[in-house]
Amino acid sequence: MSHQPAPSPELTHRTVASPAGRVHLVEQGTGPLVLLLHGFPESWYSWRHQLPALAAAGYRAVAIDVRGYGRSSRPGDVAAYRMAALVEDNAAVVHALGERNAVLVGHDWGATIAANSALIRPDVFRAVGLLSVPYAPRGGPRPSEVFAGMGGDQEFYVSRFQEAGRAESEIEPDVRGWLAGFYAAFSADTMPAPDAPDPHFAGSGGTLRERFPDRRPGWLGDADLDFYAGEFERTGMIGALNRYRNMDRDWEDLAEFDGAPVTQPSLFVGGSLDASTTWLADAIEAYPTTLPGLVSSHLLDGCGHWIQQERPEEVNRILTGWLASLPA
């Protein structure tokens, strides 16, 4: 029988009001506020190794369930998951916690949400840390057009996620098995060999899952997988997938920020084996222009996509060092 790991008594769970209804958050420590944003398909739990480390370093660490996940609100309208709405959720959390501003740290989609939050609400977010996914300003063709042109006769996963119900029908019959394979596909110790079929794509008439490894990454214990699976078995996948279904809408909404830099003090940490950093190498090279406040950039050798879970101690050292360098 699946079970969830017992929560640390030092962690405080609560919900606060947000534009969509509520945001569930998990908090530890006191001091300057650091808001932690997870990616797909994850949870506040993705920051389980960072919460105590940041608290011990003198920060009020708060990891949220992003809109559509966990115990946070899951609106029925696809458009409710647009970037602008997620930015306002983050600002609402800061104010609900009685703070005027915060440092944001995000991973995967959380990194993109963090960067846009800093861009749109510089009055609230004074610094931004990006894990795994580099900042690339809004610009270029419509995102759906870019993704449709990738992979030739294969289908890129982002394109596959666009149609409501399609990805859900692949994932939801066996959430635990699909998640285990997805995490393994992009972890350094279990990702397919370079000459194997790429799990970012589905073959003609095939599924993503048939390209996933059948091994478990070292960072993902039974209790960890049980927790993630339990969350998505309860909520379904639609809220998480709706983030992908707003990429063209975001492109339209953010037109006034075309090419805009994020000027606050910033940090980037990526994995050398992560396609997010190799495919977006040009975005990293553009940081002197797009992230003029960049304090430091780190590429962890031999690390995959799930960076703060694959290399928690190293990431914690980088995060606490960067936070200590920020002006009060």
- Residues belonging to the active site: 108, 305
Cα gap 209→217, rounded to integer Å? 16
Name the strand (E) or helix (H) holding 181. helix 175-185
Residues, the chain = 328
Say what the alpha-carbon torsion angle 220, 308, 271, 138 is, to the nearest 10 degrees: 120
Vertex 297: Cα angle to 294 and 300 (nearest 5): 165
Cα gap 178→185, rounded to integer Å? 10
DSSP helix/strand/coil, 192? coil
Q: Which residues of 132-158 are buried (b: 16+ CB within 10 A; e: fewer)?
A: bbbbebbeeeebeeebeeebeebbbbb
DSSP 82-147: SHHHHHHHHHHHHHHTT-S-EEEEEETHHHHHHHHHHHH-TTTEEEEEEESS----S-SS-HHHHH
DSSP helix/strand/coil, 37? strand
Name the strand (E) or helix (H) holding 297. strand 294-300
DSSP helix/strand/coil, 35? strand
Taking alpha carbons only, the member of 46, 54, 78, 81 closest to residue 67 is: 81
Cα gap 23→92, rounded to integer Å? 9
